[in-house]
Amino acid sequence: MALSLSADSFQMEPGFVSLVVGKELNGWKYKPAENFDGKLEASDGRYTAKDEQIVVNDYNPAKGPHLRQLWTQREFPKDFILRLEFRASVNADSGIFLRGPQLQCRDYLVAGPYKALKKYKPQDWNQIEVVVKDNVAHCTCNGEVLEAALKLPETGPIGLEADRGQMEYRRIRVKELSAK
């Protein structure tokens, strides 16, 4: 199924719920307990909410640690599908945490590890899809396999990493799948 990534044509698929609503970081936190409900920006400025997007901002040593992880307040114990779009600046390094384990999300052709992707669009919007069934994630970027069988714990939140460069995430949405 091909999805258009243009802003004008996006419609939420049936059964999906957005993890970013509006212009605030509602439902997101730093562990263990610093939540950002009602805030436009994380306390150290590494993450900003903007028009239903989460932007990972460049590191500012005066504001906090280099590596940061932003987590959903909610945990995901059931099988689910996660879809999101990302745009990475040149050599940006980020990641998507799935109940704990990390899927690298970067400027893949420069920063790797998936340098052989043929459908990746540098500095443009790309789509990640993660299908979790029986604690195993099948992960793709624009339909190309990133990880065929990433093992996950039984439950946990979804997270985004701030490491290097600017990263934009939009249309972060999840659909829980029915039990067998």
* pLDDT tens per residue, range 7-25: 567 889 999 999 998 889 9
Please determine, for residue 92, whether its predicted confidence score (pLDDT) is greater than 70: yes
Residue 164's H or E segment, with its range, is strand 158-164
Q: What is the mean pLDDT of the chain?
A: 92
Which domain covers residue 157, as residue numbers? Answer: 18-176
154 located within any domain: yes
Whole-model pTM? 0.91
What local confidence, expressed as pLDDT, does residue 2 receive? 44
| Residue 7: inside a domain | no
Task: For 102-117, write each residue's pLDDT tens digit.
Answer: 999 999 999 889 999 9
Asked whether residue 8 is assigned to any structural domain, the reply reads: no
129 exposure class (CB count in 10 Å sphere: 0-12, 13-18, 19+): middle
Instruction: Determine, yes or no, domain membership for 82.
Output: yes
For the chain, how many structural domains are there in total? 1
Task: Look at residues 47, 83, 42 and name the one whose alpha carbon lies nearest to residue 170.
Answer: 83
Three-state SS for 108? helix
Report yes or no on 86 lying in a domain. yes
Tell me, yes or no, whether 2 lies in a domain: no
CATH assignment at residue 49? 2.60.120.560
